[in-house]
Amino acid sequence: MAKKWVQKARQWMTKTMDLPEDVMMDLPRITMIGQIHIYIENHRGLLTFTDNEVRLILKQGQLLIKGDSFVIKMILPEEILLEGKIVEVVYLDQ
């Protein structure tokens, strides 16, 4: 119950104060450049990395990225820049 109230309060503050939803709602921000680069901010960590699959932990759920020839160009505690051929990006609500 308290979780729903906090989420409603964040949504109200986002609308009232005109703040970006990704900041107030603790959502990931995903920026893709074509099929070759994907930059993800506000993740909670790297769960799986292979040359054709990357799985990131989010505050709620996971982010699955599928493709080919993946290389991590940069990784920080809450940011990652991935390069390769990106075929699919899926949000897993678990």
Domains and CATH numbers, the chain: 26-92 (2.60.40.2000)
* Cβ–Cβ under 8 Å, residues 87 and 47: no
Q: For residue 49, which of 16, 18, 82 has the smallest C-alpha distance? A: 82
- For 25-77, write each residue's pLDDT tens digit: 678 999 999 999 999 999 999 999 999 999 999 988 999 999 999 999 999 99
- Interacting residues of 92 by C-beta distance below 8 A, sequence separation 6+: 61, 62, 63, 64
| Main-chain dihedrals φ then ψ at residue 78, nearest 5 degrees | -125, 10
Least confident span in 8-22, 51-65, 72-86? 8-22
Structure tokens that stand for 71 in this block:
């290389």
Beta strands 29-33 and 62-76: pairing type? unpaired
